Structure 1
Amino acid sequence: MKFNLKKYRISYSLLILTIVLGSCNKDLVEKNKGNFVKSTYFTSPSQARTFVNGIYQKLYMFQNGDAYGESPFITIELFAGHATSLGQSVNNGNVIKNVTDAVNPGFETVWSNSYTAISNANIALESIAPIVMPDADKKKLLGEAYFLRAFFYYHLVRLYGDVPLITTPVTISSPDLYPSRTAAAAVYDQIISDLKAAETSGLPDKDETGHVSLGAVRTLLASVYLTTAGFPLNKTENYALAAAEVAPVLTSYSLFTDYAFLHDNAHKNQTELIFQSNYLVGVATNAIPQLTIPFNLLVGAYGDHLGAMIPTDAFFKSYEAGDLRTEERQFYFSSYPKDKDPGTIIQFGEHALYKYFHVESALGSGISDENWTFLRLPEAMLIYAEATNEVSGPTQASYDQINLIRTRAHLDPLKNLTKDQFRIAIWKERYHELAYENKAYFDIQRTHKIYDVINNTFGDATTTKNEQNVTMKAQYYLWPIPQREISTNTKLTQNPDWN
């Protein structure tokens, strides 16, 4: 099997690939912005816009894949324990079995790209302020930069714990060139501060061009509050803040009437899709479909079929009877016509993720520009339901939110539950609705519980075996600091048990 690395390669060089996001991504263009010099670059509004657009490019690293099926969005998901992976990927297999180490390349990918994005956000926040331009436009640009800095720090602090907190541009003589780790609580304080700044920057409630919106800011901030209410900070007063923060989002967006709209080209950045990483053929493409279809079966026009993230059968069976999401070609699929031979139906022998199947590229050139969704309305709805329940127990408003999701899935509404019962119901709904969207591992971190799908209950994360007969090690609550970073910067220390 040959994987075309060049075909899916994304350049991370600053401003080499500029994305000008427009409706349905039709206005994505590529410009050469080489020879960047900070001291002379920030002189016009268009330069400021171009520079901020460049920060968005670092979002691509989550979906960047290789010939072995290794990609950060898959690594994050494998830590949750509900997926199998292509056998030839040693790193993926080691994550599943809890025997990976600090040299896993995925750990370095997320760390280095996140800090590059943060560095660029720091430059933007310092350099855009003096530019002469309409105040409203300037505030929105700065709001986007604040959001993006918070977004990347939010991933870093959850994945690695205490991480260096850098909020100003770094030069060769800067003391932050080789920084020490900052306590997670302080990092969260900065994330919240940045998101509050973005919240007051005049961003639109919704944005269908792929830029940051007020809805994205509020949803991310609510997620931060929900996370900090759990482990390791246990700031339970933040449940109320999460509910209040996300409440306006619930009336600004609406659920799709068809699950297929979650992963087609026609509905990018629309309706329930609050924040996505945007792709366009000819500008930036990805291998999401190839990574999530069964290994070596000729499904679609792809040159590679990697099987890097396949749901376990036990997880698939954990859905309630009659759940629309488990019907063929809703969230999952188990068969599909053979490429170039539609009369031959390929039986997978397992359930793959149809929610990431990209029909346009499968039936076309095999080059995918499917968007990746970071935030969508059901997550906001479930944040509201969970946070409200923790404050006051089940309310009609919290029931309404989860039941809208269940009604779309053809399930009976929930009612008459105790606070503890409702909490478990919400957690299950998060697993089933947000399945394989990089939410489960972060839920394990903040609750210290895993979904025992075989017994349909939740158990202690470090004493309950998952469906693959693996018991999560306590060290897996955090990723290791990448070994290369520790070797380069002696001020960095390693997370517990990763030495």
Structure 2
Amino acid sequence: MKKLNYILIVYVALLSASCNKNMLDTTSKDQIDANNFFNNATDLQVYTNGFYEIFPTYLIWTDDATTDNMIPLNVADRVKGARIVPASNAGTNWTWGSLRSINYFLENYQKCPDEAAKLKYGGIAKFFRAYFYFDKVKMYGDVPWYGKVLEANDPELYKARDSRKLVMDSVLDDINFAVANIPKEVQLTSITKYTALMLKARICLFEGTFRKYHALGDHEKFLNEAASAAEEMITLGAYKLYTAGGANSCYRDLFARNDQDVTETILARDYNPTFGRHGLSYLMTAPTAGVYGICKDAIDSYLMKDGSRFTDQPGYKTMGFYEEMQNRDPRLTQTTPGPNWTAYKETSPEPVNINISTTGYRLVKALATKDQWASNNSFNDIIFFRYAEALLIFAEAKAELGTLTQADLDKSINKLRERVGMPFLDLVTANGNPDPYLEAMYPNVDQGSNKGVILEIRRERRIEMFNEGLRWDDLMRWKEGKKLEKPMIGMYFPSLGSFDFNNDGKTDVYLHNGNAGGAPPGTSSIVNVNQKRLTDGTSGNFNPMYSTPCKFDETKDYYYPIPLQEITLNPKLDQNPNWK
């Protein structure tokens, strides 16, 4: 957030105090004395400003590299199926310090005589408590619900986990209070009614589909709430899709520009050369850092420009790079470099460089100008919530409920397609001819009459929200963890030797198995397949997972394990199933 959000942060130093479960049973030495604080709107604003630190950093935009969307240089344990029960909560999400601070505020803010301020900042506090608990439930399922500050002798301190139903009903109460009471303002870096509506829609879509596909029951309530919140965002009309620059550049520009505006962006973390930089562009361009490679099944999911399926094309699995990039959804070459790719704000094409990608398909969505590619030198803002997600949530919730109409598609999914000049999604056609490629990708999808359109909405979501930190949650809520066991491969090459990536008659990529002597002068990417393996030895697809077979255990891996130390401290805490 902007520096403005942290003015007088010294008054809320408690937020950075020990972030472990013991925070629940100790009184912080930095705790504000309620007798001398919470007296006016400024006090409430100052205190709640500290809650913004709960939001993730720019690293939320690296989360897709720990899913099936991208493979980094170092594969994440959750992708490999190699997570273990941690000994302590250090480095885990089983921490509670932020919750104590939120609850302390909620126990004391009512002493302020300013009624409007109490509604606004009370709503903001409940927004953050909903955000906090949503994050916990996604990872751990049932968790203890603490709606008050706990002291050392409180009998609730070491209680058992509360049911998911109780916790999520409480989360829904909190976010509904936030929606009802935070003012309807358009603010780029502050929580508003619109931010609360977006969080509500995201929470309820997750919970509704998780309950549906994991057979927990009562999914319709949350799906209806998701559809309602997203539709309210649409109806209020405060935001629209960013279209400046046209279909062939607006999607890229939205993320690569330095400063966000409030056209489509609802909430962003503000970075600036003078007070805050990050390392996202470095991770996309350094040969020894992220080395992110987009998986081929994600590349293959992008439609043809005429709306037909790329995976219906003859020989799509073995197409060369230049051919597979032709006449596709414009978002494809605004996410990964196409032929003759030009860096943001540059005029000359960049040399082909597939050495900095595990799969050959580089990531360039949100890649800033070249002067920001050095380590920790980026300052383009990072988006947390944007209007496009509301459109996707609305369509998916309605489709999963079985109430989706063509009119619903036209005001949601088809707005996204219109932005990039793609043909509209037709409800009858989609349901009449489900895509077999997507059916194989998502075997657990609803098998009813809306199967085809649900699959198409999932395609749209994966493409539109690519690398924005939502993919893992999507796989978990759809009960599609086994998707991680499917091959995560990259570009296809029929042999070793020379390859022309931009159809200009010159070699851009040269593959060899130990002798690079045959590479023509000027070749920009010389690749040793002994290091970047091919599926068939001297031909096939790049195979970054050749030595890392992935496994997803359906009996346990939809949740994270609770740290052993926490179970020792509180014997009433049960470990998640099958974690030992």
The TM-score bracket by the shorter chain reads 0.7 to 0.9
Indicate whether 1:154 and 2:145 are aligned.
Answer: no
> Which of 388, 402, 424 is the matching residue for 2:398?
388
CA distance in 1, matches of 2:271, 2:119: 26
> Which of 298, 310, 319 is the matching residue for 2:302?
319
**Contact 1:336 1:347 (C-alpha < 8 Å) held by counterparts:** no
Indicate whether 1:54 and 2:50 are aligned.
Answer: yes
SS of structure 2 residue aligned to 1:219:
helix
User: Structure 1: which 5+ residue stretches go unaligned?
Assistant: 1-16, 22-27, 65-71, 297-304, 451-459
CA distance in 2, matches of 1:295, 1:106: 32
Shift of 1:252: 2.5
Change over 3 Å in CA distance of 1:265–1:144 after alignment to 2: farther
SS of structure 2 residue aligned to 1:174:
coil
Shift of 1:159: 1.3
Change over 3 Å in CA distance of 1:344–1:398 after alignment to 2: closer
Q: Any residues of structure 2 matched to 1:216-227 within 5 Å, and which?
A: 216-227=195-206
Change over 3 Å in CA distance of 1:463–1:361 after alignment to 2: closer
Indicate whether 1:132 and 2:132 are aligned.
Answer: no
CA distance in 2, matches of 1:494, 1:79: 24
Indicate whether 1:166 and 2:109 are aligned.
Answer: no
Shift of 1:43: 3.5
TM-score when normalising by structure 2: 0.68
Q: Number of aligned pairs?
A: 438
CA distance in 2, matches of 1:171, 1:19: 33
Q: Which residue of 2 aligns with 1:253?
A: 239
Shift of 1:237: 2.1
Tell which deviates more after alignment, 167-176 or 375-384. Answer: 167-176
Tell which deviates more after alignment, 362-371 or 230-239. Answer: 362-371
CA distance in 2, matches of 1:84, 1:57: 28
> Which of 60, 84, 88 is the matching residue for 1:101?
84
What amino acid is the match of 1:473?
D
**Contact 1:122 1:168 (C-alpha < 8 Å) held by counterparts:** yes
CA distance in 2, matches of 1:44, 1:144: 16
CA distance in 2, matches of 1:320, 1:80: 21
**Contact 1:448 1:461 (C-alpha < 8 Å) held by counterparts:** no
Shift of 1:337: 7.0
CA distance in 1, matches of 2:418, 2:465: 16
Q: Any residues of structure 2 matched to 1:113-128 within 5 Å, and which?
A: 115-128=96-109
Deviations 1:188-240 (A, max 9, x none): 101100011111114225322x1112122122212222223223334232333
Q: Any residues of structure 2 matched to 1:310-349 within 5 Å, and which?
A: 310-321=293-304, 322-327=328-333, 330-333=334-337, 345=351, 347-349=353-355
Shift of 1:316: 2.2
Indicate whether 1:277 and 2:308 are aligned.
Answer: no
CA distance in 2, matches of 1:346, 1:462: 29
**Contact 1:108 1:482 (C-alpha < 8 Å) held by counterparts:** no
Deviations 1:382-424 (A, max 9, x none): 1111222223243312233101111223321111332221111
What amino acid is the match of 1:171?
E
**Contact 1:462 1:472 (C-alpha < 8 Å) held by counterparts:** yes
Q: Which residue of 2 aligns with 1:428?
A: 459
Indicate whether 1:378 and 2:383 are aligned.
Answer: no
**Contact 1:324 1:409 (C-alpha < 8 Å) held by counterparts:** yes
> Which of 280, 305, 314 is the matching residue for 1:288?
280
What amino acid is the match of 1:397?
D
CA distance in 1, matches of 2:406, 2:384: 28
Q: Which residue of 1 aligns with 2:552?
A: 472
CA distance in 1, matches of 2:577, 2:371: 43
Q: Which residue of 1 aligns with 2:64?
A: 77
Percentage of identical aligned residues: 22
Shift of 1:446: 2.0
TM-score when normalising by structure 1: 0.78
**Contact 1:161 1:184 (C-alpha < 8 Å) held by counterparts:** yes
CA distance in 2, matches of 1:294, 1:311: 14
Shift of 1:266: 4.9
> Which of 435, 438, 442 is the matching residue for 2:469?
438
SS of structure 2 residue aligned to 1:374:
strand
> Which of 342, 366, 369 is the matching residue for 1:359?
369
Change over 3 Å in CA distance of 1:119–1:361 after alignment to 2: farther
SS of structure 2 residue aligned to 1:348:
coil
> Which of 238, 252, 262 is the matching residue for 2:254?
262
CA distance in 2, matches of 1:106, 1:272: 37
Q: Which residue of 1 aligns with 2:121?
A: 141
What amino acid is the match of 2:461?
R
Q: Which residue of 2 aligns with 1:14?
A: none
SS of structure 1 residue aligned to 2:361:
strand
Shift of 1:309: 4.4
User: Structure 2: which 5+ residue stretches go unaligned?
Assistant: 14-28, 244-249, 305-327, 432-449, 490-544
Tell which deviates more after alignment, 35-44 or 246-255. Answer: 35-44
Deviations 1:222-271 (A, max 9, x none): 22222232233342323333222211212321111112343345542522
SS of structure 1 residue aligned to 2:266:
strand
Please say which structure displays the higher CA radius of gyration. Answer: 2
Shift of 1:362: 1.0
**Contact 1:255 1:377 (C-alpha < 8 Å) held by counterparts:** yes
**Contact 1:336 1:346 (C-alpha < 8 Å) held by counterparts:** no
CA distance in 2, matches of 1:403, 1:378: 11
Question: Over aligned residues, Cα RMSD in angstroms?
Answer: 3.3
Shift of 1:158: 0.9
